[in-house]
Structure 1
């Protein structure tokens, strides 16, 4: 062991093993230090640049769509057609207001205002509307049958029941039953005057609400111009041709109602 130590000491003390460095000046040392600083600076800048580029690539990969989404977007773009909505055409509405004065009041001279009407004709007053006919002015009619109707026209209505029977002793006028009144003389027809009498059904009422079963006082109240002859109450109508309601009574109540043509030529009517 001691020999080894001696050998090592001898080795290390041998001048031949010394490393002799070349003489270095101060300027060389400063230049070397400056080179090392520049190298470190360049390496730091390169590292920073690489770091920024890597971060940018990472961000772009994070924001970039996956392959599946890219394919879907491409498919959607290729199959979707651009939609262009055409705005509806503009519509202009013009409202025209026209004021028409009807029935102008006359001026102080008795005429109208002198302004022409829209039709170009001046009218001093309006035409009065016709009032509906009163019951007294209506023609004698029940259903399809009317006083004065010819026998042929009456038969054509289908309301008469054939055959007829004589209505008077000489057989000049004819009597018929009707589908609503089974009496053989419900309708009496004159060959010259046509129908001269029509019997109303027992359920029928006159326009003033009078019929079989009504009190005589109700008849007289409804028809102010009525007159009574025995048990019969007559209510003449001012129609054309003139005719009369004939109310047969039992003295207090109406039992039958007839429509009778005033200018008839049948003795039994």
Structure 2
């Protein structure tokens, strides 16, 4: 049995078909591969050496820096402080400007101010005075009942307010009226029409003045009133121009009349 196995093994080993045939350049390929592996290992070793060297250098540098820092912290600072001069305190400077107004000096008896020889330079400016404009004349109606100033005689007769002619006043005609029995209650000019009308005793002006009113009340109601003897005159605004005539006894009003400015009659 064993001899048969040995024979079979010898037959197999002697079989040419099981031989491994190598190419002519197999040896060169093996040598080149070995060279590559050797160079690779040499390069890796060099790299590892450089890394180790760099790492050791960094560690030394850090160690040196740490050592120097610790040395600086342990060194006394009195010498450096003593050698440098003390810093001067910071000073801030500011300028403030204020304006003070004082009263001007009183002028001397010659009209000049103290310290002034010519009496003009430095003198206070002259005071400017303003004059208030005169009050405007008041404006009211120039009618008494149906009659009005400047109305012609014909138009006045048509109103029925004229009663009868009174005493002629030159070329003018006078009339009593239905509300005033006096013969000269209405005075009519041929050229200008009615030039004067008398108020009834009970009638009041538009500002509340009538016969019996105090003179002070007239001046209050009509600030532009001017006095001529015992009569107060108040020029009124309007066209044609006319005035109130307040006849008084010195204290109160006795008669209120309206008079046209263009009065060519003798009354």
Normalising to structure 1: TM-score of the pair?
Answer: 0.48
